[in-house]
A = this chain, B = another copy of it.
């Protein structure tokens, strides 16, 4: 048994789960995790060349193989696993239990699609389920839950620093019962994807409102609305990312009915806040599985008997031995960070989990990209070619560092929150000082001992 692999019944799907996490998983969840594992191992990873061939044959649609699997996964109840237990459609997993599933799904880039657990659908479904009225749910949410259509979250803009969402300036103006949209948007699924149904767009409807958090509105824009033009598909590190893609859009007098407003005018920030839940670390969960896959490839390469520079296998170089150890440890630490964030949300709610979520979002993609990069390097030149899936794995990890705002923005937020704790520490250290003033004289140590050192006792 490998030293890091500890679990009760030796099912390989449980192998990387930390003991404390396993102990928190319900028996039913454990069954689900095993099923997800078998699904990904047997139906997904081995079929990657099939999907690749289907995408090569016709890019901008969900490959038939994935559609087929989706039907079967749904029939088996392996669908929408991510849905939090607060939703009636939820299959009942905690965030922590889902994290175990999502990591496994992450081993194959498109495996989450087969289980309707892929981005941006998971975040969008959460949002719609939370904020839509019943009519909207029926019209827009249900098809997503059924895996029959696909949606995009349309927030980023090319012309402003939209990682600070108060800057969003795509204009939404009212014309009676109609809303008129003008602006430019980036990312969030390509219109070329024939399975895309609609956009969830955040725009500025009341720019003069003195409250900057009440200026924006979130609406649903059906894909084929006139005036909405996709300028180009955005490549990410040179990949077109078909079939989802990342569109660059121009909205020119795009008209939608006012009934497509979610929650109410000026309430986009309430919605955006509501989206700040588990969906923000699904990426991280999947990146763990993805990094494990890269790691396994690196180890396989390391023991390749045909690859012996200076007569030794890659695995026989002490430097590689240490590199492998570092990757392993870093990856396992990142799992603990992610799992802790999931568990914190389970225990104390999404809001209380804010710090732990940010911690995952910042640390995991950075670590994953670094680990995968190191794995590529172990393959030498081949590591960067299509001979391995590593370039795709790396690209996705790299992308996640900016996908939800650059990591510096999140780091900044964490830092600002931390600085608010400083005052409490100052008071604590003043209490030390006061207490010393009681204790010192009893032991013959005069306060003068530290006089003049305002910092010393701290």
- The B-contacting residues of A in range 161-198, CB under 8 angstroms, are 161, 163-164, 167, 186-187
Give the contact-size bracket for chain A: 35 or more
Majority secondary structure, A binding face: helix
| A418→B387 contact, CB < 8 A | no
List the B residue with the shortest CB-CB distance to A420. B2
Contacts of A324 in B (CB 8 A): 415, 418-419
Among the stretches A128-136, A213-221, A262-270, A390-398, the one at the interface with B is: A390-398
Report which of B411, B432, B456 forms a contact with A322, defined as CB distance below 8 A: B411
Q: Which listed residue, B237, B418, B452, touches A391 by the CB 8 Å rule?
A: B237
Q: Find out whether the CB atom of A3 lies under 8 angstroms from the CB atom of B299.
A: no
Which residues, 322 to 363 on A, are CB-close (under 8 Å) to B?
322-326, 328-329, 332-334, 336-337, 340, 343-344, 347-348, 352, 354-356, 359, 362-363
**Docked complex: A312-326 residues within 8 A CB-CB of B:** 314-315, 317-326
Contacts of A272 in B (CB 8 A): none
A85 close to chain B: CB less than 8 A: no
Minimum C-beta distance from A82 to chain B (A) = 20
A232 to B407, CA, bound (A): 37
Q: Does A6 contact B (CB under 8 A)?
A: yes
Q: A residues 353-410 with Cβ under 8 Å of B?
A: 354-356, 359, 362-363, 376-389, 391-392, 394-395, 398-399, 401-403, 405-409
Q: Which residues of B contact A455 (CB under 8 A)?
A: 297, 301, 379, 382, 387-388
27 contacts between A and B (CB under 8 A): A2-B418, A23-B347, A46-B433, A48-B457, A49-B449, A49-B456, A158-B387, A160-B307, A161-B307, A236-B385, A238-B238, A296-B429, A299-B422, A300-B429, A315-B419, A318-B320, A324-B415, A329-B362, A329-B363, A329-B414, A332-B337, A336-B337, A379-B455, A384-B398, A386-B456, A387-B456, A389-B458
Which of A336, A381, A391, A411 counts the most B-chain CB atoms under 10 A from its CB? A381
Which of B164, B381, B428, B453 is within 8 Å of A309, CB to CB? B164
Q: Does A234 sit at the interface, judged by CB under 8 A?
A: yes
List the B residue with the shortest CB-CB distance to A360. B329
A303 near B419 with CB under 8 A, answer yes
Is A88 interfacial (CB-CB < 8 Å)? no
Bound CA–CA A160/B309 (angstroms): 8
* B384–A432 CB distance below 8 A: no
Q: Chain B contacts of A235 at CB under 8 A?
A: 385-386, 391
Contact indicator B167/A308 (Cβ below 8 Å): yes
What residue of chain B has the Cβ atom nearest to residue A344's Cβ? Answer: B19
Report A8-54 residues with CB < 8 Å from chain B CB.
18-21, 23-24, 41-42, 45-50, 52-54
**List of B residues within 8 angstroms of A450 by Cβ:** 49
Cβ of A435 under 8 Å from chain B: yes
Stretch at the interface among A117-125, A139-147, A276-284, A438-446: A438-446
Inter-chain contacts of A402 with B (CB < 8 A): 376-377, 380-381, 383-384
Residues of B within 8 A of A138 (CB): none
Contact A19 B343, beta carbon cutoff 8 Å: yes
With A4-B355, A296-B428 as contacts: A449 and B48 at CB distance below 8 Å: no
- The residues of B that contact A409 with a CB separation of less than 8 Å are 309
Contact at A297–B48, with CB atoms within 8 Å? no
Write the nearest CB–CB distance from A76 to chain B, whole angstroms: 18
A224 at interface, CB cutoff 8 A: no
Give complex CA distance A407, B323 in Å.
13
B329 & A359 in contact (Cβ 8 Å cutoff): yes
Interchain CB contact under 8 A, A164 and B381: no
In whole angstroms, what is the CA distance A275 to B384 when docked? 24
Closest to A43 in B: B439
Residue contact A302 to B419, C-beta cutoff 8 Å: yes
Determine if A333 and B347 form an interchain contact, defined as CB atoms under 8 angstroms apart.
Answer: no
Shortest CB-to-CB span from A358 to chain B, Å, is: 8
A289 CB to closest chain B CB, in angstroms?
A: 14
